[in-house]
Each structure stands twice: as structure tokens, then as C-alpha cells.
């Protein structure tokens, strides 16, 4: 073999050896690296916790103070600052849970005086009326969990809520009632809501005396109730 041939053979041998080394080096270095990256990515992803994933949340509420006339203050409403007792609870829930919040505004304002409002509402209840309400800016049927707040009116839900339940089919949703009162507590209204929305799951609500809205104790009571529902 000439010197030139010897050199060519040696060079080819060196190239084959170095390519093999390079190839095996790539396999060793890249594959575990890729596995590590995937494992790291998986470790970084928040664990999917179905139980705490409550879906899209809406807090809806009605009170005598929900009027089209923005500055109107109803004496039928125990006020906490410039919001009604039911609105105050709705806002506490919203602060704790998040989601959207919306008031149900009747198309015809309720009388602002307590006695006048009481008479007007009694007539609605006695006649099983379905008072209209203003279009909502949200579609309740697009939510998973709907908190619904109201004051006790004549031992039951205000009739405008009957209109609401007639309007929307909340089958498959979770409904969480909350209400204010002056002694009747929930008055069996959570069962009424379940009857109106038989396809929904109605959870155990919370009944708060209107006059105790606004206090730290009541806020704590609401927070504890929310934690107990397992939705927080
Ligand atoms: C028309 C009307 C009817 C009411 N009926 C009842 C009732 O049957 N039982 C009760 O405990 N409280 C009753 N209340 C008291 C309210 O439920 C209570 O004051 C509530 O806190 C009002 O909520 P708001 O601040 O959101 O308006 C009635 C109040 C009004 C104005």
C-alpha cells in the first residue's frame, strides 16, 4: 500500500469512528434531555383538581333597592352604606368567589316607602304575578354556578324571581341561594327554587337577617359557608 492509500484509509477510519461516536453522543445527550424537559413541563403544570374547578360563576341578586332610578333609596331596604342588605351579601360572595355579578332590575320600580312597597309586593304575591325585569347583560344559562340572592317577601321569593325562573332553564347548573329576612330565615324558599329548576342542583343556601348585613361577623359567616360548600 502506497503512503497516499494508507493515509486515505486512515482518514476514512477516523471519520467512521468519529461519526459513530458523534451519533451515539447525540442519542445519549438528546433523548434523556427531551425526557427531562417533558417531566419538568409536567411538573410545572398545575395539577388538575376537578373538585375545586367550579367553572363559570355568576352572582345574581334582587332587592327592593334595585330600581332603574339609580339614586333611589328604598326604605323597604336595610342599607349598608349605600347598598341594600342583599346587595352587600352579593358583593361579599363576589369578592370571595370571583366571576360576574349582576342585579335583577324590575321593569317597573317598586314603591320606595316600606308600607307602599309591602302592599305592592303583597298584591303581586296574591295574584301570582310575573313582573317583568330589564334585560340582563349576561346570559345565566352560559354559567355553571349561579348564586341567587333575594330578600324574603311575604314568606316566599319576590315574584320577579318567579319571572326569572320562568325565563331561564338552569338544568345542569349548580344554584346557590342566599337571602335576607326579618325573621322568616329562608322560609323554605330553597326548596321552592329547586321546584322551579328541577334539572339544577340547588345547594344549601344562607339566610342572613337584613339588619346584620355589613358586620365583620356576618362576613365571616358568609366566608365559612362558602368554604363549607366546597366551591371556594
Ligand atoms: C315587601 C316586603 C315583604 C317582606 N316580607 C318578609 C317576610 O315575609 N319575612 C321576613 O322575614 N322578612 C320580610 N321582609 C323583610 C326583608 O326580607 C328584609 O328587610 C330584607 O333584609 C330586605 O332586603 P334588601 O335590603 O335587599 O331589600 C319583607 C320586606 C318587604 C319590603
Residue nearest ligand 1's atom 17 by CA: 181
Residue with cell 352579593: 90
CA of 200 to the centre of ligand 1 (A): 26
130: Cβ contacts below 8 Å, ≥ 6 apart: 159, 162, 163, 166
pLDDT of residue 23 exceeding 70, the answer is no
DSSP state, residue 43: H
Choosing from 79, 109, 117, 151 the residue with most ligand 1 atoms within 8 A of its CB, the one to mutate for a pocket test is 151
pLDDT-based confidence at residue 73 (cuts at 50, 70, 90): confident
| Cell numbers for 24 | 451515539
Which of these, 177, 173, 175, 195, lies nearest to 186 by C-alpha position?
Answer: 177
Residues contacting ligand 1 via CB (< 6 Å): 63-65, 76-78, 84-86, 117-118, 121, 151-155, 180-184, 210
Top-tier CATH class for 56-229:
alpha beta
Mean pLDDT of the chain: 83
CA of 130 to the centre of ligand 1 (A): 19
| Cell numbers for 179 | 337571602
CA of 154 to the centre of ligand 1 (A): 8
Atom of ligand 1 nearest to the CA of 79: 25
Atom of ligand 1 nearest to the CA of 87: 26
Residue nearest ligand 1's atom 23 by CA: 151
Choosing from 125, 126, 181, 215 the residue with most ligand 1 atoms within 8 A of its CB, the one to mutate for a pocket test is 181
Residue nearest ligand 1's atom 1 by CA: 118
Least confident of 76-85, 130-139, 145-154: 76-85
Residue nearest ligand 1's atom 28 by CA: 153
State the pLDDT at residue 56: 97
147: Cβ contacts below 8 Å, ≥ 6 apart: 57, 58, 59, 60, 61, 90, 93, 97, 175, 176, 177, 178
- For residues 88 and 112, what is the distance between their CA atoms, to the nearest angstrom? 19
211: Cβ contacts below 8 Å, ≥ 6 apart: 78, 85, 182
| Cell numbers for 193 | 327554587
Atom of ligand 1 nearest to the CA of 155: 8
pLDDT-based confidence at residue 3 (cuts at 50, 70, 90): very low
pLDDT in tens, 49-68: 333 467 999 999 999 999 88
pLDDT in tens, 209-225: 999 999 999 999 999 99
pLDDT in tens, 99-118: 999 999 999 999 999 999 99
CA distances (Å), origin 13, targets 2, 22, 24, 27 = 17, 14, 17, 21
State the pLDDT at residue 27: 34
CA of 98 to the centre of ligand 1 (A): 27
Amino acid at each position: 500500500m502506497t503512503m497516499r492509500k494508507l493515509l486515505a484509509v486512515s482518514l476514512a477510519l477516523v471519520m467512521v469512528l468519529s461519526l459513530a461516536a458523534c451519533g451515539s453522543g447525540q442519542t445519549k445527550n438528546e433523548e434523556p434531555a427531551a425526557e427531562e424537559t417533558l417531566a419538568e413541563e409536567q411538573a410545572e403544570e398545575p395539577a388538575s383538581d376537578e373538585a375545586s374547578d367550579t367553572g363559570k360563576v355568576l352572582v345574581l341578586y334582587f332587592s327592593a333597592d334595585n330600581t332603574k332610578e339609580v339614586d333611589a333609596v328604598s326604605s323597604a331596604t336595610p342599607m349598608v352604606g349605600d347598598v341594600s342588605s342583599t346587595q352587600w351579601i352579593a358583593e361579599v360572595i363576589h369578592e370571595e368567589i370571583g366571576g360576574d355579578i349582576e342585579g335583577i332590575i324590575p321593569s317597573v320600580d317598586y314603591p320606595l316607602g316600606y308600607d307602599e312597597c309591602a302592599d305592592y309586593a303583597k298584591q303581586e304575591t296574591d295574584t301570582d304575578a310575573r313582573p317583568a325585569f330589564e334585560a340582563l347583560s349576561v346570559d345565566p344559562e352560559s354559567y355553571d354556578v349561579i348564586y341567587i340572592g333575594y330578600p324574603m317577601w311575604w314568606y316566599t321569593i319576590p315574584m320577579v324571581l318567579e319571572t326569572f325562573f320562568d325565563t331561564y332553564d338552569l338544568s345542569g347548573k349548580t344554584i346557590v341561594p342566599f337571602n335576607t329576612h326579618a325573621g322568616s330565615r329562608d322560609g323554605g324558599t330553597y326548596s321552592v327554587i329547586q321546584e322551579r329548576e328541577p334539572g339544577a342542583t340547588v345547594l344549601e343556601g344562607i339566610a342572613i337577617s337584613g339588619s346584620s348585613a355589613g358586620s365583620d361577623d356576618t362576613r365571616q359567616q358568609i366566608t365559612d359557608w362558602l368554604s363549607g360548600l366546597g366551591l371556594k
